[in-house]
Amino acid sequence: LFSNTTGSQNMAVGHSCLQSNTTASYNTGLGYYALYANTTGAQNTANGAIALQNNTTGNSNTANGNGALYSNTTGNNNTANGVGALNGNSIGSNNTANGVNALATNTTGGRNSAYGRGALVSNSTGTYNTASGAEALANVTTGSNNIGIGYNAQVPDGTLSNQIRIGDANITYAGVQVAWSVTSDKRWKENIQPTNLGLNLLNDL
């Protein structure tokens, strides 16, 4: 807290922790260079060496683990639990990463949720992705709104969006207790074409 002027309710424990803070309040830093570059960012919590080290004006971020949210500068409302979690995030906001290296290379992507070691580890700019399981959606890079559940669950193309994968190639059985409910709403359809078939034929079908 070397540079602090009017910031209040801050706590800094560790070499160079919160060293650049000036007017920001309600920050907690525990560890070597934790929240080192923070100037006006408020309500941040960093536990671990170099956690949130480069944060400057980002608010309401929580980083637990060595290097967690290390590159964050102006991103807000991010939660990183685990060594290297959200390590590369710079301006991405509203991300949640739980696990070692979860969302480690995310830079600007927002509203992603990763649970498990290496989950969504390669995502950079994709948004609204949900990965649950070690290495789940590890192949997603720029795709958005993808869902991966289970260990090593990978979608066919990490640059595309709106894909779902449950389990990896080793899964040998998939069952559900009741029938799937598939929407038939016109708003969910694509490439709708007129038919020349008569009503009688359709009734027969």
Whose tokens are 């993808």? That residue is: 146
Report the C-alpha gap between 19 and 46 in whole angstroms: 13
What is the model's pTM? Answer: 0.88
Give every CB contact of residue 8 below 8 A, 6+ residues apart in sequence.
25
Per-residue pLDDT tens over the stretch 144-189: 999 999 999 999 999 999 999 999 999 999 999 998 887 767 766 7
**Is-contact 161 143, C-beta < 8 A?**
yes
Per-residue pLDDT tens over the stretch 27-42: 999 999 999 999 999 9
Report the C-alpha gap between 69 and 101 in whole angstroms: 10
Per-residue pLDDT tens over the stretch 39-94: 999 999 999 999 999 999 999 999 999 999 999 999 999 999 999 999 999 999 99
